[in-house]
Amino acid sequence: MNVEPLLKWGLDKLCLLENPDTFLCLECSQEYITEKLGWLTNFWSDLEKWKELIHIVKEAGKDERLLGTSEIIESVFGKMKRLEHDQAKSGFTVFILSLAAIVSKTTTEVVHKALETIPTKGIHKWFKKNIGPSKKGPSQLFDQGKGTEPSI
């Protein structure tokens, strides 16, 4: 959702509430406007912060990356899905651990050391303990006649 129009609306209404002279050209009373929009005053500082963030985003260069933006998150998950190929259809897999490698500068030496240090069984054990089966996984196993306990 584009937050900028909502932000503009909120700030415009706060200006209306703060400037009683503007009620002269409106067909409703200041009391009516305050009754309907007064709740916005609780969000004045939040709206100002959002305004500042939008300004920062607009000022950012074309190739500049901003932390916390959905663009980065979408890019990382897109890369992960490409790594997983068809496995992504059944929820998170052990490839979730590749996220760290995707977002960091990794050398051949680091990858080599990681492969020597952590056995595949250790990765599967960690995944089973910390992530577990996807919601879709147990039903697929059950349909295949393997029961409901996933085998990773």
pTM exceeds 0.75, yes or no:
no
Name residues whose C-beta falls within 8 Å of residue 29's C-beta, 6 or more positions apart in sequence: 23
Does a structural domain hold residue 29? yes
Read off the pLDDT band of 28 (50, 70, 90).
confident
Q: What percent of the chain has pLDDT over 90?
A: 16
- Count H helices and E strands in the chain, helices first: 8, 0
Greater model confidence, 97 or 15: 15
Greater model confidence, 50 or 132: 50
pLDDT at 38 over 70: yes
Name residues whose C-beta falls within 8 Å of residue 113's C-beta, 6 or more positions apart in sequence: none
Each residue of 68-99: b (16+ CB within 10 Å) or e?
Answer: eeeeeeeeeeeebeeebeeeeeeebbbbebee
What phi, psi does 110 have (nearest 5°)?
Answer: -65, -45
Which one, of 89, 103, 100, lies nearest residue 126 by Cα? 100
Report the pLDDT averaged over residues 92-111.
Answer: 77
pLDDT at 40 over 90: yes
Tokens of 105: 């500068």
Kindly state whether residues 139 and 74 are assigned to the same domain. Answer: yes
Does a structural domain hold residue 120? yes
Residue range of the domain that includes 46: 3-59
Greater model confidence, 17 or 66: 17
Does a structural domain hold residue 64? no
- DSSP secondary-structure letter at 92? -
Read off the pLDDT band of 43 (50, 70, 90).
very high
Kindly state whether residues 80 and 131 are assigned to the same domain. Answer: yes
